[in-house]
Every structure is written in structure tokens, then in C-alpha cells.
Chains A and B, each alone.
Chain A
Amino acid sequence: MGSFEAVGVTKRFGTGPPALQDLTIRYEGSGAIGYLGPNGAGKTTTLKLLVGLLRPTRGRVSLNGADPVTDRKRALWDVGALIETPEPYPTLTVFEALETVGRARGLGTNDLDDEVDRCDDLFELPPFGQRVGTLSKGQRQRVALASALLGDPSVLLLDEPTSGLDPAERVRVRDALLRLKKDHLIFVSSHLMLEVTEVCDRLVVVNRGRVLLEDRVENVAAHFRSRRVDVEFGGPVTPESRVRLAALSASVEVVNDRRWRVSFDGSDARRADILAACQAVGPVLHFASASLQLEDAYLEVVEGGTGA
């Protein structure tokens, strides 16, 4: 089974702030890991470092136990990568472009044909005889995805794999990744929360070159749940009653005249204080942790800039 790791990796371009700072991640076996962050967070830099397109300023990168810069053939042998927008020569046909990849990966003629057919089944490739230069953005992206999967490498490093695809094509890619993650190790970067959570088991949130959070997808939302409570009163309460909670460092969002949403530091003691304060306002029918959407959790992490 494949593996990849980055240990204490910092990448600096020129004299500016580091594009990536002290990144440490390590995965092996199978499954899908989502690498999430806003544009410019350092996602593509990380992937480029993993495949040896960039050299770390500090730290160490390893792909299947080999250094992707000094021993790239061994490091990339069992790895399929889709970084940025790969563009085969526009004069080549779709088949010739894939043939180049297949031959470089050591596929014989029969295996190459089988593999191209498999990728065609997965992504519905454009006509094999069509020149790459005449393909639409979506068609080109599907060819790029096929080139990453050709030879069925056990590690897939995918940078925004659904970029440029229409909704139907996105579903196709999502379904393919769901199938592949059973026996492949997939590291997929995206700035789209939904895209990642539909496919991935684990989530790494990165912003401004720093990893802010790393956890299982279901734990990410759960972790934030305790920071908010929904309160439902037995009767209408005035918004002014919120002052009773001011001393508890809590902010109160008035949902309607009977319901509040209270944000606080998440501690059990403060939670008990808030319940008592609410009961002083009026009879409390319902007091429970607000179910925070993953999207909100992501925004909270990224905007807050601190790990959970």
C-alpha cells in the first residue's frame, strides 16, 4: 500500500511570508483525505512539494518511502497526480497523450488499451482521435484525470479534481473516487467543503500556509457543536433579557421571540451558567447543543485562524 509524508516542511518563495509553514502530515494505506482551504492557503504548494515539483526550504517530503526530488522514478512509480491544469501538447490526440503516460509507466500495448478503456468507463473520455488542442476545459480535465489514474497507481494526489467540470461530470468523478478510496490512498485538495466531505474520511484544513485542523470528517463538526447551544423558552421573551448573559462572555443571536442561539467558549461550567441564566429569563423547554454545519466549522477555523 502507498504512503506519503511531509515532516516539518516549510516552503518560502523569495523574501515574502512562507507559503507553507512547518507542515507535518503522514498517511498510508487506503482511504481519502480532504485537503481544504481557501484560495492561496498553500494547498497546491503542498501537492507540488509532494510530487517534487518544488523543493522544501526546510523539512522532508517522502512519497512511497522515496524522495520525490532526488529519486523521482521510485517515488512517483505508484503515484498518480493531478496538479493545477495539466496540458498535454495540443497537437497530440487524446489517445497519444494517454499513450505517452502509459508507456512512461511501463504499460504494454494490451494493458494500455485496457487501462484507457477503464478510464473511458470512469470518466467518459472525449473521442480518442480528437486533438487535445480542440478539447473543452471539461474534456481536458477528464483526460488529465485519466492520465493520473492510468496504470492504477495506489496513491492519488489530486488538486481540485473537479475544476472545470459540469455538475454531471462532478458526480461522475465523486463516484469514481468513492469506489477508488476502498483500495487507494487519495489526497484531494479543494476549496469546496461539500466536494471534500462527500468523498473523504479525514479532513485537513489549511490556511496561510499552516495546518489549522486535522481530524475525521464527522469529528470536525462534532468538535464545534459544544460551542453553541439552542435555547427554546416556554413563552415569548424580550430581546433585552439577553443582558443577563452578558457577564458570561456569551453572544446571543435572537432567532425569534421564543428561541435564542447562544455562542460561548464551550466549557461545561459556562454551559451550566448559561442554562441557569436562561432559566432566570423564563421557563426553558429546550436547551441543547446547536448542530453546527461542517461548512460553518470550516469557516470558523479558517477565519479564526486557529486550530480546534
Chain B
Amino acid sequence: MSTTESTVSVRAALRDRSATDVEQWWAVTSSQLAHYVRTHRFLGLLAFVGGVSVLTIAFQLYAGAPTVRIAQLNSGSEYLSNFLDYTGLWVILAAAFFGGDALSVDFSTGSGYFMLVLPVRRSILLAGRYTAASLVTLAIIGEYYLLGAAGEVYFFGLTSLPWVNLLLSLGLAVLFGLAALSVAFCLSAAFRTPAMGVLATVLVLYVGFTTLQGVVELAGVEPWFSLTYAGGAMAAVLDTDFLHYQSIPLGEDQYYTLWSASVLEGVAIMLAYVIVFVPLATYLYQRKESTG
């Protein structure tokens, strides 16, 4: 077929049928995923999380299996609960790296002039990028959980691996990742500079929530509004002696109440973040103009 004939057939084919939203979503997702997995951010974070995990296990090996078992109350579940204590931090970093500039990049670089002129709704563009960011965040979480499980199996044996609670914790970590990405995408849609979105995500999710949580806990109030508080459920589900709150005496008639989110509470808070921030990010992204 000649070039002209081929062109005519392509035009005819395109007139007959346009790409569905699902096809376009997948085109955006796969392209974004191919981009993410080649970035230094992804490879660096993957190496960092892997390195910290391996180093932790190496120190435990140096201390010896009996010492580790005693320190972890002879419980594989307790070992995992402590090992996976940093999940929240890794998820927040992943959300900042992959969500913090996911949308602002369209208004500060030439990327927008490549993607935003395509016949694709912005909500579909956002959905594709959100999916890709979720998948790379899942890869980081998956690596961390895999290494944690490997450590548990080595020190406590396969039979003591708490499968159900581990999977429940993983599920919560994925949901926490989705909630953190929702906030990051929203900040990315609000800011024009990619670096601002990344920085704001870390500041809001890590510094902001942690500080605020500490302050309201001092007042004896449960920090139900905090995403990082909800994220505590990821490790709490593996904790052998989980308590929703503990009152620590400070002096005469004075107590400091330490709150821990239950699984259901954690799920509700995280879902609320997804439900609020994804539509808000979509609205801001659709409203934004390429004024640069």
C-alpha cells in the first residue's frame, strides 16, 4: 500500500471509531509508567528502601537470631510490626516523588504542550498518571514488605508468618499510598512549579500532620483528621498488644493520651482522603490554564 492509500485508510478508520476513555487511560498509564521506572527518583528510592531494609536485617544477623527473637517478644508479628514501622515514610516519599509534580509538569515544562493538545479529557490524563504513580508506589511498598517477610521467615520460620495480618497491613499500606497520592496530586494541581508540589507534599504529609497530631494529642483529642495517624494502622494491625489509646500519667490528675488508629478507623480516614482529594485535584487540573 502506498503512503497516500495508507493515510486515507487511517483517516477513514479514525473517523469511524474514536479511542475509548479506557484505551486512552491505558495509553497514558503505560507511557507514564515507562517514564517513572526509568527516572532516578524511582531507582533511587527503590535502592534506598532496599538498602535500609537489607542493612536492618544485616544488623539483626550480626546481633544473632536469639537476640532478635527475645527483642521481638518471640513473635513474628511483633518483628514485622517493628520492621515495617517506616512504611509511612516511604509511602510519603513515593507520593511526593511521583505525585508531587505529576500535574504541575504540564504547566511548567513543554510536557503540557505535548499531552494537553491531545483529544484526551484531563480527568483521563489524571487517572492514567494516578494509576502509574500508584503502581510505582506499590513497587516500593512491595519491596519493603517482601524484605520484611524474608527477615521474619529467617528469624522466626515460615510457620510463624502472620499471613492474614501481613496481607491486611499491605492492603492498608496500598490504601495509605492512594490517599497520600491523592493529596500529592491535589498539591501538584494547585502549584505551578514541580519542586513546590514535591516539597509541599513532604511538608504537609510528614511534617505538618505529625506536628499537628502531636499538638492535638496533648489536648487529649483523637487526631482523626490526620492521614499519618490513619497510617499507623499499617503497623498496628501486626502489633500483638494493640491499644486504641493509652493514658500516660504526667503528674497529679494529668494524663497524656496516645492514640492509635484501629483498622476500620484507618480505612475510613484514608478512603475519605481519596474521596475528597481526587475530585479536588481533577477540578483544579481542569481549571488550570497554560499561561507560561
A binding-site residues for B, Cβ under 8 Å: 13, 48, 51-55, 72-79, 81-89, 91-92, 96-97, 99-101, 103-108, 111, 114-115, 117-118, 121, 144, 147-148, 151-152, 154
Say yes or no for B18: interface residue by CB 8 A criterion. Answer: yes
Set of chain B residues within 8 Å of A55, measured between Cβ atoms: 289
Set of chain A residues within 8 Å of B13, measured between Cβ atoms: 108, 111
Question: Are A96 and B14 closer than 8 Å at their CB atoms?
Answer: no
Say yes or no for B24: interface residue by CB 8 A criterion. Answer: yes
Given known A85-B113, A87-B111, A114-B6, contact A106–B19 (CB-CB < 8 A): yes
Given known A118-B6, A121-B3, A151-B14, contact A72–B119 (CB-CB < 8 A): yes
Residue A54 contacts which of B26, B28, B35, B290 (CB distance < 8 angstroms)? B290
The 3 closest A-B pairs by CB, nearest first: A87-B110, A106-B19, A103-B27
Say yes or no for B109: interface residue by CB 8 A criterion. Answer: yes
Q: Which residue of A lies closest to B17 (CB)?
A: A106
Q: Which residue of A lies closest to B125 (CB)?
A: A104
Q: Which residue of A lies closest to B40 (CB)?
A: A91
Question: Are B28 and A73 closer than 8 Å at their CB atoms?
Answer: no
Set of chain B residues within 8 Å of A81, measured between Cβ atoms: 117
Chain B, interface SS category: helix
Question: Are B109 and A87 closer than 8 Å at their CB atoms?
Answer: yes
Q: Smallest CB–CB gap between A290 and chain B, Å?
A: 42
13 more A-B residue pairs beyond the given contacts A52-B116, A96-B31, A154-B11, with a C-beta to C-beta distance below 8 A: A48-B290, A73-B18, A79-B119, A84-B113, A86-B110, A86-B114, A87-B109, A87-B111, A91-B34, A104-B24, A104-B28, A115-B6, A144-B114
How extensive is the interface on chain B, given as a class? 35 or more
Most chain B C-beta atoms within 10 Å of own C-beta, residue among A55, A78, A87, A89: A89
Question: Are A73 and B121 closer than 8 Å at their CB atoms?
Answer: yes
Question: Are A86 and B117 closer than 8 Å at their CB atoms?
Answer: yes
Q: Which residue of A lies closest to B5 (CB)?
A: A114
Within 8 A of A (CB), among B93-113: 109-113
Given known A53-B290, A104-B24, A118-B6, contact A92–B11 (CB-CB < 8 A): no
Given known A76-B118, A96-B31, A114-B6, contact A86–B19 (CB-CB < 8 A): no
Question: Are B114 and A87 closer than 8 Å at their CB atoms?
Answer: yes
Residue B289 contacts which of A54, A103, A151 (CB distance < 8 angstroms)? A54
CA distance in complex: A55, B289 (Å): 7
Say yes or no for B146: interface residue by CB 8 A criterion. Answer: no
B binding-site residues for A, Cβ under 8 Å: 1, 3, 6-7, 9-11, 13-15, 17-19, 23-24, 26-28, 30-32, 34-35, 38-39, 109-114, 116-122, 289-291
Set of chain A residues within 8 Å of B3, measured between Cβ atoms: 117-118, 121
Question: Are B35 and A91 closer than 8 Å at their CB atoms?
Answer: yes
Residue A103 contacts which of B9, B23, B110, B122 (CB distance < 8 angstroms)? B23
Q: Which residue of B lies closest to A79 (CB)?
A: B119
Q: Smallest CB–CB gap between B5 and chain A, Å?
A: 10
Set of chain B residues within 8 Å of A100, measured between Cβ atoms: 27-28, 30-31
Given known A91-B38, A107-B10, A152-B11, contact A53–B31 (CB-CB < 8 A): no
Q: Which residue of B lies closest to A112 (CB)?
A: B10
Q: Smallest CB–CB gap between B149 and chain A, Å?
A: 31
Set of chain A residues within 8 Å of B118, measured between Cβ atoms: 76, 101, 104-105
Question: Are B10 and A111 closer than 8 Å at their CB atoms?
Answer: yes
Residue A76 contacts which of B1, B10, B117 (CB distance < 8 angstroms)? B117
Set of chain B residues within 8 Å of A106, measured between Cβ atoms: 14, 17-19, 23
Residue B113 contacts which of A73, A78, A83, A92 (CB distance < 8 angstroms)? A83
Q: Smallest CB–CB gap between A107 and chain B, Å?
A: 7
CA distance in complex: A100, B14 (Å): 16
Question: Are A77 and B111 closer than 8 Å at their CB atoms?
Answer: no
Q: Smallest CB–CB gap between A227 and chain B, Å?
A: 39
Q: Smallest CB–CB gap between A125 and chain B, Å?
A: 14
Set of chain B residues within 8 Å of A105, measured between Cβ atoms: 14, 19, 118-119
Set of chain B residues within 8 Å of A147, measured between Cβ atoms: 114
CA distance in complex: A107, B119 (Å): 13
Given known A118-B6, A151-B10, contact A89–B113 (CB-CB < 8 A): no
Q: Which residue of B lies closest to A19 (CB)?
A: B291
Q: Which residue of B lies closest to A73 (CB)?
A: B119
Question: Are A72 and B121 closer than 8 Å at their CB atoms?
Answer: yes
